[in-house]
Chain A
């Protein structure tokens, strides 16, 4: 791989109690690229994604290494709050808090104790612009975020994640609850965003993976089957299982 690696997993294993849901996952997520994790339901891709910023701490046992800037962040002494500021997360369902648009965006900044109005104002505009929502909401920043449409809410959640300036954003099927128009808006946004950061995305939508992802990892029953450039995965997969999945033979 030519590009720099933003995040690397080494022999990552995830267990729910006795149940092994991810085996020996070795992945190098390239910097400033979009990587898609695809696979059937129950293949372990969401589980792996959530482990990357330690969101699985309360539910599962995660073994192996997750290297970020040369630090293994999968060890007890790591400050998970700082990790999650660097590696943000956007969920399947839009999750705006019941507060104003402005307060939603600066939520993460407030957690770090930022109080300077100018910094907050500036960061709100910057994040909303990056998430392609600024023009739609600039006049109603004080309005409740719950009044926005589903697509706008999801872009607000992306802006909220961006506001703490993370290096990596994890996305768990970010558009599966949205209509096609909102979906393509968000995909356009992601392509813009990768200039500044690295995106790792779980998706069930094959077109979405082929349209927006630079790299694709295919998982099956807790195993990583194949990881390569998206074009290679979709055009010339090396593994028979990948080809079968993409042609709809199972999944």
Chain B
């Protein structure tokens, strides 16, 4: 009797394992949370150094159009405008294509097509961005040069490269959200006399709307943060673009170009950190947007 009482109340191998497992998970969580926290603090501190130590006004930084760190001109507006332009343009072009491919694969073509195409699309998602940049440099830029004249480098080339880069991601996510629409909705709609197209436009797309929105924001977030591929084709001149064929520079491309050529702690270096801070804030905004759009879907 005494023995059983002891066994019931004392720790055993199982309870120790449980405890150990919990400890490891909590430590991992603290590590990840801590890392994110440290990055946020570090970037914020470095990012505001330009305003605090070098006396550049925040508004002047955000609205100024002249970016010449060597001459102490820190106007980041051209990069902000260009970053948003290429992101939004590539997102807008990619969305209808992703939708059409997703509709074709999930609603029209046999299941077999999906089984072959899905791994292919995932492969495309995994291709390093430098490859897309190289494609842009060797194919898209010369082609644009031929058709529109000029150098070929610029907003349009960057948009094309980003479009190619985010299309697989967006397509894959759009397909997933279409496949998540219950089969019974399709049956019910067809049972009420709907054609396939009516079913797609009236039931399936509205049901998958939040997933599609999330896919678009996700793709745009990726485009916004892409540095290398853009840098290779955009021409890298820090002016506000006046047309699609104008050379320009994004936040990320200026960062990658400049960070190796400045000295830690100088104003020109701090200015780059401030650009990074804008990027971080924007990524957080994209994340929040994604959260909001996918939460609405869980209703």
Interface residues in chain A, defined as those with a beta carbon under 8 Å from any beta carbon in chain B: 53, 55, 81-85, 88-91, 93, 95, 97-99, 107-108, 110-112, 144, 146, 157, 160-161, 164
Contact = CB atoms under 8 A, between A and B. Distances in A.
A82 B191 contact: no
B206 A98 contact: yes
A212 B83 CA distance: 67
Given A93-B184, A95-B184, A107-B202, A88 B191 contact: yes
Given A84-B191, A88-B191, A107-B194, 6 more contacts: A55-B187, A91-B184, A93-B184, A108-B193, A110-B202, A111-B193
Nearest to A57: B190
A85 B191 contact: no
B195 interface: yes
Interface in B182-199: 182, 184-185, 187-195, 198
Interface of B is mostly: helix
A19 B185 CA distance: 28
B62 interface: no
B185 A81 contact: no
B191 A111 contact: no
B184 A88 contact: no
A80 to B, nearest CB: 8
A111 B198 contact: yes
B184 A161 contact: no
A170 B284 CA distance: 52
5 closest A-B pairs by CB? A89-B191, A95-B188, A84-B193, A85-B193, A108-B192
A164 B187 contact: no
A164 B193 contact: yes
Contacts of A95: 182, 184-185, 187-188
A5 B184 CA distance: 31
A183 B198 CA distance: 32
A144 B299 contact: yes
B203 interface: yes
Interface in B86-122: none
A107 B191 contact: no
A110 B192 CA distance: 11
B237 interface: no
